[in-house]
Structure 1
């Protein structure tokens, strides 16, 4: 699999967004965005003004810690506990509004579920870019999403040095950085068993696909069935144009699972400096074998990373399933800098961070283990 340098990937991403605009690529990512220099590379950014409450959680702190959390309580089936959590959730919403949390500038934010970081960044480069952003956006909180100590310990320490504070966002899973054949026997057996299901069912893979318009439409449908239908409308609402452009610009690497000539599963992988994540995954929920399609898809992700020597990064969805196949839980943080804001906004941000660390963090660990 041929991958782009981080700089080239960001340049192509920026060109795509400038040409088409978010309104036609993913309507709930429609905020100011662009690319900026940091050291010798480029990173994307998003800038929000607290003017909408319908944006995706990847560009809206309000959506992430309020709307998304409300939906998560239904997804995990809290029942009685949900009624106990409603009052503090209302309180969170109150403070989120008063802190104007969506009046924020996010560095290295693609708007995808996970932002990967170039390995070339150092503390001096972080300090330089943060100083510039703070000077030009004095009324915006400054955010850096998707930071975990397993992959980004140097970035984490550099951001702490720049005055950022960590705010718990979610758990993620990192997988062993080695071929499947070197995994522990029990975990290797689970992956190989899943991998064998495809041939048994007469399914086959198309890899490194440059999507045409019809394929892109089908990929959008499969993604929507899973991420918007089963999970949350607050996930990115990618259009078929987004998939077509990302595929043909080599921004994301698409693989299609076929039953005969019909596409029943799809993967879209992003790779930065040898680290992979999967912002696009979907399968046909109406297929007779829908219950095993997810297993086939995740086995293909493991195989692709193994064959290309990629470090695999994954969300904590289906947490126990992924741990059985080698995943190791890591906490992910949104790094927040508010020292330049008014005292009132700093106090509200401080309360939000406290709620995320002291309530959101333990609850997440409780319901994912």
Structure 2
């Protein structure tokens, strides 16, 4: 595909002061989110992130990029190695098949050795907000191609990566990037909830919402969550996403929650009982999509309390009110299917054509292994 004539400019700490942030809802959001990351460094807000952050504008629209060299212990939102090897190795236990787990562990070890030798983490990620799901602003496929054409000249020797793409919500971008020469490397199975929900799903959601009164919880939203709740929100998120799931998930700090609370970079909601916050989430909306990268609850309370069910019902209700498609990320597949969500395969578009042979070979091997082995297993087991 030929490069297009969109105007692309790169900003870093040396010239970020000259960037004129658009006077739009997205432009002001980007300003409030990105400037603190440049001022304080990313690890001030997400303690297991090591990356360099810069900003590209395409026709004046600002989009964050992250630049990495190695950082193999990084959270997966900046480290492809962590995503495809370290995190994947942890999730093999979900298969409940010891023989299959043993075989895939050996396969991942071999792939990991190959990837490290190929400088796999030398990568520039476009539209990377350091979150589990990076929703894209309202830019055209042609503008994404213009960014890609610009960055391949500016960052020779780096793979260029667009994460959080799928055919269902970003089909035009996927097609354009593939036509340009990007590999489409599967990353995970996600769940998308569109309205209206099937009758069975509506019944389940009604039952989930009824738990709020039964368990005595009050829904609290913006204006009802304050600075005194910040440390508790961090704890609730870590109980679920770090301690129960994986240390490779982003580890949000109190500074990140304070930024969300002060500027609205995430809209915070929670469940409170007897003055105590026992569940919390933070979501944002973009171009008709909504997702909640911050989600947690007190896992020390009995599962019968139903905190996950109640908090999920609140999130789904808010998506219905906004008229947005809810991007529910990955995991807990059966639960999400039962409540009307539909599975989709998320991919990363990777441009590596000008890189050394062993790096291109590594991405090709990964692409083939995931398409032929990884994705079929995930789909069969409905993970």
Which TM class, normalised by the smaller chain length?
Answer: over 0.9
Say if 2:109 is the partner of 1:109.
Answer: no
Q: Is the 8 Å Cα contact of residues 255 and 267 (structure 1) preserved in structure 2? A: yes
Q: Is the 8 Å Cα contact of residues 168 and 334 (structure 1) preserved in structure 2? A: yes
Q: Go from structure 1 to structure 2 and tell me whether the alpha carbon gap of 1:162 and 1:11 turns closer, same or farther (over 3 Å shift).
A: farther
Q: Go from structure 1 to structure 2 and tell me whether the alpha carbon gap of 1:210 and 1:10 turns closer, same or farther (over 3 Å shift).
A: farther
Q: Go from structure 1 to structure 2 and tell me whether the alpha carbon gap of 1:123 and 1:287 turns closer, same or farther (over 3 Å shift).
A: closer
Q: Is the 8 Å Cα contact of residues 290 and 327 (structure 2) preserved in structure 1? A: yes
Q: Go from structure 1 to structure 2 and tell me whether the alpha carbon gap of 1:75 and 1:228 turns closer, same or farther (over 3 Å shift).
A: farther
The superposition leaves residues 11-63 of structure 1 with CA deviations (integer Å, 9 ceiling, x where unpaired) of 2111121232222211211211122112341111111101x221001110100
2:183 to 118, 142, 165: 165
Structure 1 counterpart of 2:140: 122
Q: Go from structure 1 to structure 2 and tell me whether the alpha carbon gap of 1:209 and 1:16 turns closer, same or farther (over 3 Å shift).
A: farther
Structure 2 counterpart of 1:251: 265
Q: Distance in 2 between matches of 1:171 and 1:292?
A: 25
Structure 2 counterpart of 1:208: 222
Say if 2:266 is the partner of 1:260.
Answer: no
Structure 2 counterpart of 1:366: 380
Q: Is the 8 Å Cα contact of residues 215 and 305 (structure 2) preserved in structure 1? A: no
What's the CA shift for 1:6? 2.6
Say if 2:161 is the partner of 1:147.
Answer: no
Q: Is the 8 Å Cα contact of residues 148 and 333 (structure 1) preserved in structure 2? A: yes
Secondary structure of residue in 1 paired with 2:375: helix
Q: Distance in 2 between matches of 1:367 and 1:5?
A: 40
What's the CA shift for 1:343? 2.0
The superposition leaves residues 204-260 of structure 1 with CA deviations (integer Å, 9 ceiling, x where unpaired) of 011124753331110000000000010000000111111111221111000011011
Say if 2:247 is the partner of 1:227.
Answer: no
Q: What's the RMSD between the two structures over aligned residues?
A: 1.6
Gaps of 5+ in 1: none
Q: Distance in 1 between matches of 2:225 and 2:373?
A: 43
Q: Is the 8 Å Cα contact of residues 270 and 311 (structure 2) preserved in structure 1? A: no
Q: Distance in 2 between matches of 1:341 and 1:291?
A: 52
Q: Distance in 2 between matches of 1:34 and 1:210?
A: 34
Q: Go from structure 1 to structure 2 and tell me whether the alpha carbon gap of 1:290 and 1:268 turns closer, same or farther (over 3 Å shift).
A: farther
What's the CA shift for 1:273? 2.1
The superposition leaves residues 118-151 of structure 1 with CA deviations (integer Å, 9 ceiling, x where unpaired) of 23x2233122211111111101000000000110
TM-score normalised by structure 2 residue count: 0.90
Gaps of 5+ in 2: 1-23
- Mean Cα deviation higher: 74-83 or 91-100: 74-83
Secondary structure of residue in 2 paired with 1:100: coil
Structure 2 counterpart of 1:274: 288
Secondary structure of residue in 2 paired with 1:208: coil
What's the CA shift for 1:79? 2.4
TM-score normalised by structure 1 residue count: 0.93
Q: Is the 8 Å Cα contact of residues 210 and 248 (structure 1) preserved in structure 2? A: no
2:203 to 189, 192, 196: 189
1:175 to 193, 208, 212: 193
Secondary structure of residue in 2 paired with 1:315: coil
1:96 to 98, 115, 120: 115
Q: Is the 8 Å Cα contact of residues 38 and 53 (structure 2) preserved in structure 1? A: no
Q: Is the 8 Å Cα contact of residues 81 and 121 (structure 2) preserved in structure 1? A: yes
The superposition leaves residues 95-122 of structure 1 with CA deviations (integer Å, 9 ceiling, x where unpaired) of 2112211100000111100011123x22
- Mean Cα deviation higher: 219-228 or 277-286: 277-286
Aligned length: 360
Q: Go from structure 1 to structure 2 and tell me whether the alpha carbon gap of 1:244 and 1:94 turns closer, same or farther (over 3 Å shift).
A: same
Q: Distance in 1 between matches of 2:261 and 2:367?
A: 37
Structure 1 counterpart of 2:58: 38
What's the CA shift for 1:68? 0.2
Q: Distance in 2 between matches of 1:70 and 1:127?
A: 33
Structure 1 counterpart of 2:48: 28
1:12 to 32, 52, 62: 32
